[in-house]
Every structure is written in C-alpha cells, then in structure tokens.
Amino acid sequence: MQSKNWIGGEWITPSGSEMTVQNPSRTAEEIGIVHFSDRSHVLAAEQAARDAQKQWAQMTGAARGEILYQMAAALESHADELARLASREMGKQIGEMRGEVARGVSLLRYYAGEGMRANGNVIPSADTNVLQFTRRVPLGVVAVITPWNFPVAIPIWKIAPALILGNSVIWKPAENSSLTATRLAELFAETRLPAGVLNLVIGRGKEVGAALTEEAAVDAVSFTGSSATGRQVAIACAGRNIKYQTEMGGKNAAVVLADADLDKTVPILLSGAFKSAGQKCTATSRIIAEKAIYEKLAERLQQAISSCLAGDALDPAAYLGPVASVEQYEKVNKYMGVANEEARLVAQSPATDIAEQGYFIRPTIVEGVEASHPLVQQEVFGPLAVMLPADDFTEAVELCNQTVYGLSASLFTRDLAKAHLFLERAQAGMVRVNQETAGVEYQAPFGGMKQSSSHTREQGQAALEFYSEVKTCAIKYAW
C-alpha cells in the first residue's frame, strides 16, 4: 500500500521523500510506502479547506449529520480491514484495534446526532422586548495533528466534532500511522462529504506539522502528541492568536489501598499498564500501594504477569503486540536499561518465540527507586511500570500528585469515603475508582491537568466548545 494526500477531493501522491513501512511484529515484512508532503501541499490544503468551508457551514446540522452517519457506516463496513492494517502498521493487538475502530464508529454517530441538538441558550434581558440568546458558530479551517498510538479513534474524535459544527479540516496524521490514515480517508471519500471539507496531508511533523501551525492560515489547531511538541504548537498558536488544544503526555498512577479486592484489582492493573504495549497516554505507569498490602500485591502481580504474553499484533490470543517503531523500541529499551541498573525487578512476563522478529518488549514491573527518579517522573510510553510503597492513604495521594503530569489516576479500595476524597484530591483530569487509568468513555470529557493538556477537553459535549465560538445575539423586537 502507498500513502497519498487527499486535497480538495483529489488524490495526490507527493513526489518528495518517502519511507518504507515495516511491520513492527515482523520487521522483515514491508507493508507499504509513505510519501511525505512539503509545505506546498499544506498551502494547497488550506486553500481547498477555505473554499469548501463556507458552503459546508451553510448546510443544516441535520444534513451534515447525515454525512457523518454515512462516514460511520463506511467505517463500520470496513472495520476489520482497517483494524488489521493498523495492527500491521503500528503494532496494536488486533482485539484492541477492533475495539478502537468500533469507538471511531460510535464517535461519528454521537457527533452526527449533535447536528440536531440545541446549540445555544436563551438568556433573559434586563431590557424590555429584547430576545437575547447565544449560538455556536464554527471556527473556520481547523488543523488536526494526531499521534500514532490511536491511529483511528483520536483523528475521529477531533474530525467528527469539528465537521458537525461546520468547520473544514486539514488532518496531518503521525508518520507511523500514515497508511491507516490514507485508508480511513479513502473510506470517507466514498460518502457524500463535499470535496475539500476534509483534507489529508501526509508528512513529517517538523515540516508539514510546523507549516500547519506556523504558516497556513488556519483558525484553530487540535493537537495530540508528546509534551515537547505540544509546547511548540501552543507557542506558535498563541503567537498568532488562534485557538489551540494540546493533549499531551501522562505518568498515570494507580493507587492500591490495603482493603482493595486484589482478585479484581490485579488484572486491571496489568491491563492498564501493558495493553497497547503501554503506549497509551492514560496507561498505568506508577503503582502506588499501601505498605500493609505492598508485598502481597507484588506477589500477585508476579504470578499474574506470566499471562501477559507478547505476540504478533494480528494474533487474537496475544496480550500485547510489539511497540510501534524502531524509535519506540530504542527509547523504551533505554528505560529498561536504567531499570535493570537502578531498580529491582518485581515481575516480568516470560519471553516469547516471536521476540527476535520484531520490536517486542516484555511487560515489566520494578521497584526500589525514589519518587524523584526518572522512572517515576518521565513518561516511558512502553510496557514498564514502577511500584512505590506508601504509609497510608494521605501519602499515597501525595505520591500520586508528585508529577508534572495530570492526565488520569485510579484508586482501588472498598472505602467509599476514601474513594470520594481521592476523586477530590487527585490532580488529574480523569479520576477513577476501581477502574483502569485508561478507558474513559467517548461521551465523557477527556483531557488532563498540569502539563498533560492545554486544559480544554475532548470528546463528549466538551469537544463542541473547542470547535466553535459562542456569539451573543440580541434583538429588540419592539419599542
């Protein structure tokens, strides 16, 4: 398969540099070629998106919604094919990848329905015979910049709310998920989506991403990716006074209190830490346990981790696939090296036969480092979690909050009072009790505090606020 751009309804293959895509489960297998764009493609997409937006915004919400329903149907009817392509391109295990595509379908339907829902409030006026109300208006052309770790759901949770509100979109996916992006755009091209309303520009972040945020006359940027890139995006957008949203990294803690039900807690901890090979922004990367239960929990994790076996991403029985790329493999292995030298091993899954064929890293839990240690403070983005002991609930919450990130946090307990106190005190945008740090539902707001986010929220109704501006309208209808 070859990547291509979709600009103004035309398919264009850039003639510049390219990259051969290897299957991270079996690096000897080449699955396609990604063709990188330059700034001229970004500017062409900007023009196409600008030309299409006015008419798109003038359509009724109901009519736009019908097209989003068509997009959902097109995706649903090719769900398995797209999931398999993404598994082969970036290594997410097929069961998880199918779940992600299903989420994409649900998101499209959810936002399709928004075309028929109220979009403002009537506000009483202090004057006589005045009707005062608000209405949402689109921003115009929105740039959507996405990472590789959710190659289908994240683009859709940005594109769908942007479109239903009457914006047009220029989408730049991550380099490592460009084939999946191309196929997704091909599916959307089968619908009645007017030319230029959604544009796909495949390219490198430093070139195409930067041209989108710094040069193209876009009205807003919605970015998900690393904190370092997010900061650059925010600076560029603030300098131009355009609306931006940056969803970035995490160092999410699961806190286990002495009264937790370990039979239920242990599988949830492992799933939070190791599904998607730990490459979720909401993955559990710190396990903070009350001392009274610490040793017992460590033992239980040791027993249970033996079932977390890595395998080919297309193997339905694999617990996790490989990490996504050679860059990921090298970065995560660097942290594994630090863990080997500076921490103590708590638990590690057995090696599997496939290990030599791709970018496989064994799920690992370590302990014995201070709260300030890089393994506790930096986002690893791989299947490596660190355990920390806490004297009691109060210290556990302090440890949970001792990070620059604030994306997601979980508590495991049977104590209702502590559950409520945790929801109040944990500094994270998504706080959960007896649940994984990952897995927030699409109809609820998604986003982080502190360095994890620009403090806006995605998904649910919250996304509608980002992709629109509110106009305050007033009519004096008699005097």
Q: Report the interface residues with ligand NAD, using CB under 6 A.
A: 145-150, 172-175, 205-206, 209-210, 213, 224-226, 229, 232-233, 247-250, 281, 379, 381, 407, 448, 452
Torsion, Cα of 440, 443, 445, 446 (10° steps): 40
- Tell me the C-alpha distance between 384 and 335, whole Å: 8
Q: Which is nearer to ligand NAD, 152 or 407 (CB)?
A: 407
Token pair 């300098």: residue: 239
Residue 328: which of 379, 388, 394 has the closest Cα?
379
Q: Which is nearer to ligand NAD, 419 or 463 (CB)?
A: 463
List, in order, residues 6 or more apart from 289 with CB less than 8 Å away. Answer: 255, 256, 297, 298, 387, 388, 389, 390, 396
For the bound state, the minimum distance from the C-beta of residue 217 to ligand NAD, rounded and expressed in Å, comes to: 16
Residue 255: which of 80, 419, 50, 454 has the closest Cα?
419
- Tell me the C-alpha distance between 103 and 157, whole Å: 9
Q: Which is nearer to ligand NAD, 250 or 389 (CB)?
A: 250
- Tell me the C-alpha distance between 112 and 163, whole Å: 9
For the bound state, the minimum distance from the C-beta of residue 119 to ligand NAD, rounded and expressed in Å, comes to: 25
Residues forming beta bridges with residue 348, ordered by sequence position: 364
Which residues are tagged catalytic?
247, 281
For the bound state, the minimum distance from the C-beta of residue 330 to ligand NAD, rounded and expressed in Å, comes to: 13
List, in order, residues 6 or more apart from 458 with CB less than 8 Å away. Answer: 157, 158, 222, 245, 247, 445, 446, 447, 466
Q: Is residue 468 classed as helix, strand or coil in its secondary structure?
A: strand
- Tell me the C-alpha distance between 438 and 281, whole Å: 8
The residue sitting closest to ligand NAD, measured at its beta carbon, is 205
- Tell me the C-alpha distance between 221 and 203, whole Å: 16
* Cβ neighbours, 10 Å, residue 295: 11
Q: Which is nearer to ligand NAD, 208 or 365 (CB)?
A: 208
Instruction: Tell me the one-letter amino acid at 103.
Output: R
Q: Which is nearer to ligand NAD, 247 or 290 (CB)?
A: 247
112 token code pair: 């399709």
Q: Which is nearer to ligand NAD, 180 or 452 (CB)?
A: 452
80 token code pair: 């398995």
For the bound state, the minimum distance from the C-beta of residue 160 to ligand NAD, rounded and expressed in Å, comes to: 16
Residues forming beta bridges with residue 19, ordered by sequence position: 34
For the bound state, the minimum distance from the C-beta of residue 145 to ligand NAD, rounded and expressed in Å, comes to: 5
- Tell me the C-alpha distance between 277 and 321, whole Å: 6
Q: Which is nearer to ligand NAD, 74 or 332 (CB)?
A: 332
DSSP class of residue 446 equals: B
For the bound state, the minimum distance from the C-beta of residue 209 to ligand NAD, rounded and expressed in Å, comes to: 2
* Cβ neighbours, 10 Å, residue 124: 8
The answer to whether residues 358 and 26 touch, using CB atoms and an 8 Å cutoff, is yes
- Tell me the C-alpha distance between 463 and 456, whole Å: 8
For the bound state, the minimum distance from the C-beta of residue 348 to ligand NAD, rounded and expressed in Å, comes to: 23
Q: Which is nearer to ligand NAD, 297 or 440 (CB)?
A: 440
Q: Is 128 exposed, middle or buried (0-12, 13-18, 19+ CB in 10 A)?
A: exposed
Determine if residue 277 is left, alpha or beta; phi over 0 gives left, psi from -120 to 50 gives alpha, anything else beta: left
Cα dist from 142 to 97, 200, 221, whole Å: 27, 12, 6
- Tell me the C-alpha distance between 252 and 82, whole Å: 29
Instruction: Tell me the one-letter amino acid at 264.
Output: K
For the bound state, the minimum distance from the C-beta of residue 408 to ligand NAD, rounded and expressed in Å, comes to: 9
Q: Which is nearer to ligand NAD, 56 or 446 (CB)?
A: 446
For the bound state, the minimum distance from the C-beta of residue 203 to ligand NAD, rounded and expressed in Å, comes to: 7
